[in-house]
Amino acid sequence: MARMIAVIDYRAGNLTSVLLAFQALNAEARITSDPDMIRSADRVVFPGVGAAGASMANLADLGLADVIPQVVASGKPFLGICVGTQILLDSSEEDGGTACLGLLPGTVKLFRPTSRSDKVPHMGWNNVSVVRPHPLLEGIEDNSEFYFVHSYYPAPSDPATVVAETEYAGVRFASVLGRGNLAATQFHPEKSGRPGLKLLENFSQWNGRHSGNGA
Amino acid sequence: MLSRRIIPCLDIRNRRVTKGVRFQNNVDLGDPIEMAERYCKDGCDELVFYDITASAEHRPIDIDMVRDVARSVRIPFAVGGGISTVSDMSRVLLAGAEKISVNSLAVRNPGIISEGARAFGSQCIVLGMDPVSTDSPACPSGYEITVRGFRERTGMDALEWARRAVELGAGEIVVNSVDADGTRQGFELKLTGMIARAVPVPVVASGGAGCAQHLADVFLKAEADAAIVAGMIHSGEFTIPQIKQDLVKAGIPIRMHW
């Protein structure tokens, strides 16, 4: 299984766009929920759309709740997207409080806008401001806009894991997180035009090392 | 800052993009994939495709076209027309669309909104509405919902319908003014503003865009989250980068890296 990207299917939304983006990059990606295929992949994408509670339950049903920490520990490049990112943290406020995978220290919080014009979900294009350089953001102009759709946001407790930030509804939240071989975005790079495709291209060539923090 | 979105609308008839005024006198404008690619290159923020003859011809949506669009563009797009069931929605989403727009179908069967939202999430379900101004006391907002391409009035109040659709699970509302559609004289600011202030989900203004100032007006005066453009760019009279530059000058947050 040389140079294969496994896109984890845990019944958490539509994976077509992720697959099409990698196809556009001529990178071999496969949608799979098979633990062996995920373990043997060259790199792993953990996407997701939907609720944290249902996502965690699906992972458990599919026998993947242990596979993800193993894959992250193995050192291979790992990319969380949207809800896939959120459930990497310790817990989420969603669904009355959901215990998550705990691969990044911190919690996931609900946007509580004080202004009527800040609608929830946060949906559309917003700026991503780099806090510290990361191989996934190479060649992407600082403050480029990416496409977001989410009502909850990651609030990591270790500032060293914050790679980039975005402002919405009165909070400045971590929109890109990273620690060692683990990287994660709150936005959808697969739907974010050229900057998003560049990020996925960087991921498809990344060796999983990250000089700077906790690597 | 969250950007205000500019969304080209492509009306599809027999796999060609067409444009008419008030759904009449349709003229051929080109190939949908080529046009979608061009608008993406120009920096559009999202696209919407309406298969305008699917319902009238009682056929399902052209799913191959949806697939071809998904292969060609890397930004979100919505699809409407020819969708009548949750399984139709599922096919469209699995083909790579981000959102489904329901309009006449939702008026006939409001439950489809909740079914779709439960199955795929509210962010996937867009309610499109075609309101027309009215004096009817049944419509206190002053606007009445029409269906079937403006051909039929429903007696439903537009503002009330918007609120109800959001309660049912619609994640976005497209307000397509029958009075303004195709006129290029500016958006319907009054109703768009009423709805944008009344619902907690994004509101997309549609119908009447003729110059950048019209977009600035609907963003600033009516608090729209996004605006649909069609004729003004299809004709080549304006380009998306020109419109975006004018909006930036007007102080509106706009996506400028693409």
Looking at the partner chain, which of B45, B96, B257 has a beta carbon nearest the beta carbon of A17?
B96
> What is the spatial distance between Cα A126 and Cα B254, in angstroms, rounded to a whole number?
9
With an 8 Å Cβ cutoff, are B3 and A119 in contact?
no
The confidence score (pLDDT) of residue B121 equals 87
Assess if residue B257 is contained within a domain: no
Assess if residue A210 is contained within a domain: no
Domain count, chain B: 1
The confidence score (pLDDT) of residue B59 equals 83
Whether the CA torsion A41, A209, A18, A45 is positive or negative: it is positive
Assess if residue B224 is contained within a domain: yes
Assess if residue B13 is contained within a domain: yes
Say if A145 is an interface residue toward chain B (CB within 8 Å): yes
**Residue of A199, A208, A214 whose CA lies nearest to A18:** A199
> What is the spatial distance between Cα A105 and Cα A133, in angstroms, rounded to a whole number?
20
| A57-100 per-position pLDDT tens digit | 999 999 999 999 999 999 999 999 999 999 999 999 998 999 99
Average pLDDT over every residue of A131-142? 97
The confidence score (pLDDT) of residue A215 equals 39
DSSP characters for A103-161?
SSSEEEEE---SSTTS-SSEEEEEE-EESS--GGGTTS-TT-EEEEEESEEEEES-GGG
Q: How far is CA A143 from CA A160, A165, B233, B245, in A?
A: 20, 9, 27, 17
Catalytic residue at A188?
A: yes
Catalytic residue at B157?
A: no
The single residue listed with the structure tokens 């009447």 is B208
Say if A187 is an interface residue toward chain B (CB within 8 Å): no
Assess if residue A140 is contained within a domain: yes
Size of interface A-B (CB pairs under 8 A): 85
Assess if residue A213 is contained within a domain: no
The confidence score (pLDDT) of residue B22 equals 57
Q: For residue A48, with 0-12 CB atoms within 10 Å meaning exposed, 13-18 middle and 19 or more buried, which class applies?
A: buried
Assess if residue B256 is contained within a domain: no
Q: How far is CA B236 from CA B210, B230, B232, B239, in A?
A: 12, 10, 7, 7
CATH code of the domain in which A83 resides: 3.40.50.880
Assess if residue B254 is contained within a domain: no
Domain boundaries, position B61: 5-249
A15 and A9 Cβ atoms separated by less than 8 Å: yes
Average pLDDT value over all residues in chain A: 93
The confidence score (pLDDT) of residue B114 equals 96
Assess if residue A75 is contained within a domain: yes
Say if A130 is an interface residue toward chain B (CB within 8 Å): no
| A148-170 per-position pLDDT tens digit | 999 999 999 999 999 999 999 99
Assess if residue A153 is contained within a domain: yes
- Among A9, A11, A14, A187, the strongest candidate for a mutation testing the B interface, having the largest count of B CBs within 10 A, is A14
SS3 B101: strand
Domain boundaries, position A77: 5-205
The confidence score (pLDDT) of residue A158 equals 98
CATH code of the domain in which B127 resides: 3.20.20.70
| A16-47 per-position pLDDT tens digit | 999 999 999 999 999 999 999 999 999 999 99
Residues of chain B with pLDDT under 50: none
User: What residues are paired with A145 via a beta bridge?
Assistant: A127
Assess if residue A212 is contained within a domain: no
Assess if residue A214 is contained within a domain: no
Which residues are CB-neighbours of B244 under 8 A, at least 6 positions away? B6, B43, B254, B255, B256
**Of the listed B130, B157, B181, B217, which one is catalytic?**
B130
Domain count, chain A: 1
The confidence score (pLDDT) of residue B23 equals 58
Residues of chain A contacting B95 with CB distance shorter than 8 Å:
16
With an 8 Å Cβ cutoff, are B121 and A119 in contact?
no
In this predicted structure, the answer to whether residue A214 has a pLDDT above a threshold of 70 is no
In this predicted structure, the answer to whether residue A212 has a pLDDT above a threshold of 70 is no
- Among A111, A117, A119, A188, the strongest candidate for a mutation testing the B interface, having the largest count of B CBs within 10 A, is A119
Assess if residue A211 is contained within a domain: no
What angle (nearest 5°) sits at the alpha carbon of residue B54, between those of residues B53 and B57? 80
- Look up the ipTM and state it: 0.93
**Of the listed B11, B157, B181, B225, which one is catalytic?**
B11
